[in-house]
Amino acid sequence: MDSKEFREFGKAAIDFIADYMDTIRERDVLPSVSPGYLFDLLPKEIPEAPEKWQNILSDINTTIMPGLTHWQSPNMHAYYPTATSFPSIVGEMLSSGFGVIGFSWICSPACTELEVVVMDWLAKFLNLPSEFLHSSEGPGGGVIQGSASESVLVAVLAAREQAVKRIQTEHPDLSESEIRGRLMAYSGDQSNSCIEKACVLSAVPYRLLPAGDDLVLHGEALRQAVEEDKAKGLFPIICIATVGTTGTCAYDDVQGLGQVCKEENIWLHVDAAYAGAAFALPEYNELLRGLELVDSLNFNLHKFLLVNFDCCAMWLRDANQVSDSFNVDRIYLKHKYEGKSQVPDYRHWQISLGRRFRALKVWITFRSIGAEGLRAHVRKHIALAEQFEKFVLNDKRFEIVAKRALGLVCFRLRGDNSLTTSLLDRLMDRKKVYLIQAKYKDTHFLRFVVCGYNAEEKDVDFAWKEIKEQAELVLGSNKENKSIEPLKEHAVKNDVGQITEKIALLLSSDCEKLQ
Ligand SMILES: *Cc1c(COP(=O)(O)O)cnc(C)c1O
Whether the pLDDT of residue 59 is over 90: the answer is yes
C-beta separation of 142 from 119 below 8 A: yes
Give the closest residue (by CA) to ligand 1 atom 5: 148
Task: Name the band, by pLDDT with cuts 50, 70 and 90, for residue 499.
Answer: very low
Give pLDDT, residue 369.
97
Whether the pLDDT of residue 443 is over 60: the answer is yes
Residues in contact with ligand 1 (CB, 6 Å cut-off): 80, 147-149, 192, 194, 242, 244-246, 271, 273-274, 300, 312, 515
pLDDT digit string (tens) for 104-127? 888 999 999 999 999 999 999 999
Task: Encode burial over 375-401: b for 16+ CB neighbours within 10 A, e otherwise.
Answer: bebbbbbbebbebbbebbbebebbbbb
**CA 18 from centroid of its chain's CA atoms:** 26
pLDDT digit string (tens) for 349-360? 999 999 999 999
What number does the ligand 1 atom closest to the CA of 244 have?
13
Give the closest residue (by CA) to ligand 1 atom 1: 273
User: Which residues, other chains included, contact 288 with Cβ-Cβ below 8 Å and sequence gap of 6+?
Assistant: 127, 128, 279
Q: Which listed residue (61, 75, 127, 192) is catalytic?
A: 192
| 269, amino acid identity | H
Output the CA 149–ligand 1 centroid distance in Å. Answer: 6
For all residues of the chain together, what is the average pLDDT? 91
Task: Name the band, by pLDDT with cuts 50, 70 and 90, for residue 332.
Answer: low
What number does the ligand 1 atom closest to the CA of 194 have?
10
Q: Give the mean model confidence (pLDDT) for residues 283-304.
A: 97
pLDDT digit string (tens) for 139-158? 999 999 999 999 999 999 99
Q: Give the mean model confidence (pLDDT) for residues 385-401.
A: 96
What proportion of the chain, given as a percentage, has pLDDT over 70?
Answer: 90
Give pLDDT, residue 314.
98
Q: Give the mean model confidence (pLDDT) for residues 236-253.
A: 96
Task: Name the band, by pLDDT with cuts 50, 70 and 90, for residue 498.
Answer: very low
Whole-number CA gyration radius for the chain: 25
Q: Give the residue from 289, 290, 284, 286 showing the smallest Cα distance to 304.
A: 284
* Helix runs in 34-147, H state only: 37-41, 53-59, 86-98, 109-125
| Higher per-residue confidence, 335 vs 61 | 61
Give pLDDT, residue 504.
42
What number does the ligand 1 atom closest to the CA of 300 have?
7
What number does the ligand 1 atom closest to the CA of 245 have?
13
Output the CA 273–ligand 1 centroid distance in Å. Answer: 5
Pick from 232-236, 286-290, 318-322, 340-344: least confident: 340-344
Kindly report the backbone phi and psi dihedral angles of residue 347, in degrees, each rounded to the nearest multiple of 5, phi listed first.
-60, -25
Give the closest residue (by CA) to ligand 1 atom 8: 147
Please state whether the predicted TM-score (pTM) of the whole model is above 0.75: yes
Output the CA 74–ligand 1 centroid distance in Å. Answer: 21
Output the CA 144–ligand 1 centroid distance in Å. Answer: 14
Whether the pLDDT of residue 407 is over 90: the answer is yes
Give pLDDT, residue 511.
42
Give pLDDT, residue 337.
56
Q: Give the mean model confidence (pLDDT) for residues 289-303.
A: 97
Give pLDDT, residue 330.
63
Between the alpha carbon of residue 473 and those of residues 221, 231, 425, 476, the distances in Å are: 44, 57, 12, 5
What number does the ligand 1 atom closest to the CA of 309 have?
7
Output the CA 159–ligand 1 centroid distance in Å. Answer: 20
DSSP-derived secondary structure letter, 349: G
DSSP helix/strand/coil, 489: helix
Whether the pLDDT of residue 326 is over 90: the answer is no
DSSP-derived secondary structure letter, 205: -
Task: Name the band, by pLDDT with cuts 50, 70 and 90, for residue 327.
Answer: confident
Output the CA 112–ligand 1 centroid distance in Å. Answer: 25
C-beta separation of 268 from 295 below 8 A: yes
Among 197, 274, 287, 296, which residue has the most ligand 1 atoms within 8 Å of its CB, making it the best to mutate? 274
Output the CA 326–ligand 1 centroid distance in Å. Answer: 23
C-beta separation of 248 from 190 below 8 A: yes
Kindly report the backbone phi and psi dihedral angles of residue 363, in degrees, each rounded to the nearest multiple of 5, phi listed first.
-60, -45
Q: Give the residue from 344, 309, 326, 322 showing the smallest Cα distance to 107.
A: 344
Give pLDDT, residue 325.
84
Task: Name the band, by pLDDT with cuts 50, 70 and 90, for residue 507.
Answer: very low
pLDDT digit string (tens) for 79-92? 999 999 999 999 99
Task: Name the band, by pLDDT with cuts 50, 70 and 90, for residue 265.
Answer: very high
DSSP helix/strand/coil, 415: coil
Whether the pLDDT of residue 497 is over 60: the answer is no
Give pLDDT, residue 479.
64
Output the CA 416–ligand 1 centroid distance in Å. Answer: 31
Give the closest residue (by CA) to ligand 1 atom 15: 246
Let me know the angle formed at the C-alpha of 252 by 490 and 206, rounded to the nearest 5 degrees: 110
Q: Give the residue from 223, 394, 373 showing the smallest Cα distance to 307.
A: 373
| 208, amino acid identity | L
Whether the pLDDT of residue 321 is over 80: the answer is yes
Give pLDDT, residue 83.
96
Between the alpha carbon of residue 493 and those of residues 118, 149, 209, 248, 398, the distances in Å are: 44, 38, 31, 19, 12
What number does the ligand 1 atom closest to the CA of 303 have?
1
User: Which residues, other chains included, contact 245 with Cβ-Cβ below 8 Å and sequence gap of 6+?
Assistant: 188, 190, 191, 192, 215, 251, 252, 511
Among 216, 242, 300, which residue has the most ligand 1 atoms within 8 Å of its CB, making it the best to mutate? 300
Task: Name the band, by pLDDT with cuts 50, 70 and 90, for residue 213.
Answer: confident
Active site residue 192: yes
Task: Encode burial over 348-357: b for 16+ CB neighbours within 10 A, e otherwise.
Answer: bbbeeeebbb
Among 71, 149, 302, which residue has the most ligand 1 atoms within 8 Å of its CB, making it the best to mutate? 149
Among 150, 152, 194, which residue has the most ligand 1 atoms within 8 Å of its CB, making it the best to mutate? 194
pLDDT digit string (tens) for 446-470? 999 999 989 999 999 999 999 999 9
pLDDT digit string (tens) for 161-187? 999 999 999 999 999 999 999 999 999
